[in-house]
Structure 1
Amino acid sequence: MTLTRFLTWLQHSVLLLAVLALPVKAQWYRLPFQTMGTQAYVELWSEDNNLGKDLLIAVQNEFERINQKMSPYLASSELSLLNREAANGLVTISPEFYQLLQQAEQLAKLSDGAFDISFASVGFSYDYRQKIKPSAAELQQQQPLVNYRHIQLHPANQVSFSRPGVKIDLGGIAKGYAVEQAIGLLASAGIKHALVTAGGDTRLLGDKRGRPWLVAIKHPRKNDDIVAQLPLTDSAISTSGDYERFFIEDGVRYHHILDPKSGQSPSGLMSVTVLGSDTTRTDALSTTLFVLGLERGMALIEKIDGYDAVFIDINHQLYFSSGLNQ
C-alpha cells in the first residue's frame, strides 16, 4: 500500500470511528412500568441514546426506592416499622421519610384533619377486591384511632404514636412525592422536556418541544372518555376519584378515599383534579378536597396561592376554581 493510499484509508477509518462514536439522533425515550401498586410511565427527550435509556431505568429505580421505604405492604419498609413499633416508644426514621410526615402534618392542620394519614387505622379494615367493609361496631371501635395528632414528631427524626392501634398510610401523598422526585432526578441530569406519571399523579418538565403537553381529565364513569384536556407546561396535576378502587353494595359506592372523621367514603363528588407546581402537594390536595366536598373544598383551594382545582360532582357537573376561569 502506498503512503497516499494508507493516509486516505486512515482518514476514512478515523471518520468512520467518529461517526460510530456519535450518540443516536435525539429522540423521545419512553417506558411504562408497574410500581407502588399502579401503572407508571416516563417520557423524556434526550440527545444522547445511552443517557436517555439510563434515565428511564433511573426513574423506575427511584420509584422502587421510595416504595421500599413507604409501602404499607412491605414488612421491611419504614412505614411498616412505624405501624409496628411507634405506639411502644420513639422510632428513628430517615430524614426523607420524616420530612414527608412533616408535610402530611402541615396539610392535616391546613385542612382541619380532612387530610389525615392515620385514616389507615380504619382503612385496613376495607378490602375493595373482596368487597369487605368494617361493621358499624368495628367503625365505632376504630374511629377514635383516626387523628393526625396521634402521630407525634420528635426531634432527631423520631416518631411515636400516642395510642396503640394507630396505623398510617401514605397513599394520599407518596405517589405524588415519587413523581416529584423522579422529575427532580431528570432535571438534575440536564433533561429539559419530560413527563412522569403514576396513578393519578403527573408532573411535566418544560414543554413538549415547542408546544404544551396535553393532559386529560378522565371521565369518572366512562373508562375510555375524558371530560377535559388541559394544555400545560412545567406543571403538576393530580386527580383523586371514587372510581379507582371501589365496590358497590346495596346501591352504595364504597371507595378508597375515606373521610377521616367518619371512616367512610364521601359521596358528594366523583373526582377532583388539582393543578400546581409540586406533585407531592397536588396529590395530597386532590384527596383533601374530595373529602371536604365541593363547597368547603372550593373555599380551601381558593386560599392556596398557585393551585387550582376542577371538581366533578355526582351529577356530572364541572366546577372550576377562580384561577381556571380567567
Structure 2
Amino acid sequence: MPRALLSALLLFSSLLPHSALAQWQQHQWDVMGTRASVTLWSEQDAAPLFAALEKEMSRLNILLSPWVEDSELAKVNRLAASEAQTISAEFYALLEKSRDYYQLTGGAFDISFASAGHLYDYREGTSPDEETLQEATRHIDASNIQLLPANQVRFTDPGTTIDLGGIAKGYAIDQGIDLLKRAGIEQAWLSLGGDSYVLGDHRGRPWGVGIRHPRDKDAIAMRLPLSDIAMSTSGDYQRYFISKGERIHHIISPETGKSAGELVSVTILTEKSIDADALSTSVFVLGREKGLALINRLANTSVIIIDQQGEVYYSDDLVPPE
C-alpha cells in the first residue's frame, strides 16, 4: 500500500467519532454480604467507574452494616438505649425512610426485627430456642426508635436492635446509579443481591431481567423486558437453612420473630431501588392478600408474587403472560 494512502487511512480513522470505540463492559465484586454486578455501555475504559462504584458501596457498608464493629449502625445498636446518639444526616434520612415504611405497611416493615432476627445463624444453621425467641420478639417495635432533632436517635427499649438489610441495598443501588448518570452513562444494569436497576435500554431493546426460580437456582421463573426501572426480589432461598424439614430464612415476621411462611418470592418494580427493596420485604411479610392490596394502592409500583404452591399473582397493572 502506498505510504500516502496508508497515512490518509490512519488520519481518517483518528477522525472517526469515539462512539466507534464504545462497547459493553462488565464488572463484579463482593460487598454488603452479597455479589455486586454492573454492565454498562461506554466509549471510555470503565475501570475508573468500576472503582468508584466499589468505593461507594464499601463506604455504605461501613456506614450501615450491623457486623462492622465501628459502623454508625453498630454503634447505635450498642449505645442508643443508654443515651441519644448523634449520627450522620445520611443515616438519619434512612431511619426516617424506614419509619415511613413502618407506618405505610402497618408494621410489616420494621428495622427492629433484628432484635430477634440476629439470633439466627444462617451459616451454622442454628435458631434460638422458643423461650429466648419469645423474649427477643417483645423488643420488636419500631416505635421504640426515637428520631430526635439535630440528627439524634435513641432507643426507649434496651432490648432493641436494628438492621437496615431491608432497605440498605436498594439505597446503595440508587447511589450507584446516580454515580453512573453523573459520569454520562446512559445504559447500564447495576445489581446487588436481589436488588437491581436498569438504566436506559439495551441498545435499542429492553433489558431482559430474570426472576430466579425459587426452587431451582439454575432456572428462571420468568424474564421481564425492562428499561429505566428498579427491581427488587425477596425470596426465601436467599439466606436460609433447613431444620427438621422447615425452611428457616432471613425474612422475619415482626409479629412472631420467625420466618414469614406464606410466600417464596416477591418482586417489586418501581422508580427507585430503595422503595423496591423496602416493598419487596414488606409484601413478603404481609402475604399475598394484604401485599397485593398495598401495591395496588401505590402509584407506579408493580408486584409479582409466587406462593408456596407455586402459584403466581400480579398487581392490577400487570397483564399475566398467556
Aligned partners of 1:243, 1:226: CA distance in 2, in Å?
14
Residue 176 of structure 2 is aligned to residue 185 of structure 1: no
Counterparts of 1:297 and 1:134, CA distance in 2: 28
Identity of aligned residues (%): 47
Query: Which of 22, 26, 40 is the matching residue for 2:22?
Result: 26
Whether the aligned pair in 1 keeps the contact of 2:122 and 2:239 (CA below 8 Å) is yes
Change (3 A) 1:99 1:122: same
Contact 2:232-2:269 at 8 Å conserved across structures = yes
Amino acid paired to 1:281:
D
Shift of 1:140: 1.8
**2:101 aligned partner:** 107
Deviation at 1:24, TM superposition (A): 8.1
Q: What does residue 248 of structure 1 align with?
A: 242
Shift of 1:225: 0.8
Match of 1:263 in 2: 257
Determine the C-alpha separation between the residues in 1 that align with 2:213 and 2:14: 52
| 8 Å Cα contact 1:23/1:48 also seen in 2 | no
RMSD: 2.1
Matched residue of 2:287: which SS? helix
Aligned to 2:81: 87
Can you list the C-alpha shifts for 1:2-59, whole angstroms capped at 9, x where unaligned?
Answer: xxxxxx9xx99x959968xx7981111210111101011011111122xx22111111
Misfit runs of 4+, over 6 Å? 16-19
Would you say 1:40 and 2:36 are equivalent positions? yes
- Mapped to 2, the partners of 1:138 and 1:279 lie a distance apart of 35
SS in 1 for 2:275: helix
Larger radius of gyration: 1
Alignment of 1:93-242 (within 5 A): 93-242=87-236
Letter in 2 for 1:84: R
Q: Which runs of 5+ in 1 are unaligned?
A: 1-7
Q: What do the CA deviations read for 1:103-158 (whole angstroms, capped 9, x no partner)?
A: 00000000011000000000111001211111111122111210000111111111
Which secondary structure does the structure 1 equivalent of 2:35 belong to?
A: strand
Q: CA deviation at 1:325?
A: 2.1
The alpha carbon displacement at 1:267 in A equals 1.1
Q: Is the 8 A contact 2:134 2:257 kept in 1?
A: no
Q: 2:269 aligns with which of 258, 275, 283?
A: 275
- How far apart, in 2, do the equivalents of 1:173 and 1:197 lie? 14
How many aligned positions are there? 315
Give the Å deviation of 1:250. Answer: 1.7
Match of 1:4 in 2: none
Q: Give yes or no for contact 2:235–2:264 (8 Å, CA) kept in 1.
A: yes
Q: Aligned to 1:247, what secondary structure does the other structure show? A: strand
Sort the Cα spacing of 1:24 and 1:69 in 2 relative to 1 into closer, same or farther, 3 A: farther
Classify the secondary structure of the residue corresponding to 1:324: coil
Q: Give the TM-score normalised by structure 1.
A: 0.92
Cα distance between partner residues in 2 of 1:305 and 1:251: 40
| 1:61 aligned partner | 55
TM-score by length of 2: 0.93
